[in-house]
Structure 1
Amino acid sequence: MSYCLSIGALARRTGVKVETIRYYEKIGLLAAPARSAGDHRQYREPALRRLVFIRRARELGFTLDEVRELLALADGGGSCQEVKNVALAHLAGVRERIADLQRLAGSLETLTRRCETASGAAGHCPLIDDLLGG
């Protein structure tokens, strides 16, 4: 395609904020685009596709470093197995965070159950006492 998009149009098409697009350029995830005579950024389809890729990867929880690694594999002809390895490492981290959140939920359920039998001022609430180290 031969069209050019302004940064605002690119933001609208991809759902990525203008400030975020500028940040991705600054850190090298997105190449700096050509500029118009008025010094406005002019993005072409490859930038649109790359930004959609970045947005989708971020929605899946990939870190910026992981996104950079995935892009390097895609740009440099990496193997599908290498991409899979990055995704599996990310999945392991997701599962670890889920386990941490489940432990946290269990702790909060225990603490809130202790409040069911309590009465009186918040200063004497078992949950408050527990948080204070009591």
Structure 2
Amino acid sequence: MKSKVNEIQVRYKEKLKASFSIGCSQDACNILYDNWDKDTIGLHESFKILLLNNSNKVKGVYELSTGGITGTLVDIRILFAIVLKSVSTAIILAHNHPSSKLKPSEADKQITRKIKEAATFLDIKVLDHIIIVPNGAYYSFADNGIL
């Protein structure tokens, strides 16, 4: 009797050449805000990752999760599956605060530390974690020295 198992395929298909470079938190915020659904940014939290190549050029934006008014679940196993599948060497974490409060919560700080620690083992750089509010203002963990 022959055992049958699922075939696993891992693919990454680049449709657009990476052309936007990230030089500072404002660059990252601009790209993230441009790619955020303005109809829901003030309604519920979402968590996204900005995927970068070795030259800090943007490969893409991936929406990892969508939650409720005050939080969203971040599964770091799925986060790193996306990072590895896209062959990214650096990432910028991002989520929105519908309340327009720019201050990171203790939970925000904890998940950032956890992701950064895991990334170290995979030689992936976590360059920043950005909190965006509905009017486009942002808070950068890197700029504020807490990354």
TM-score tier by shorter-chain length is: under 0.3
Normalising by structure 1, report the TM-score. Answer: 0.24
> Relative contact order: is structure 1 or structure 2 higher (C-alpha 8 Å, sep ≥ 6)?
2
Bigger Cα Rg: 1
More helix by share: 1
Q: Which has the higher strand share?
A: 2
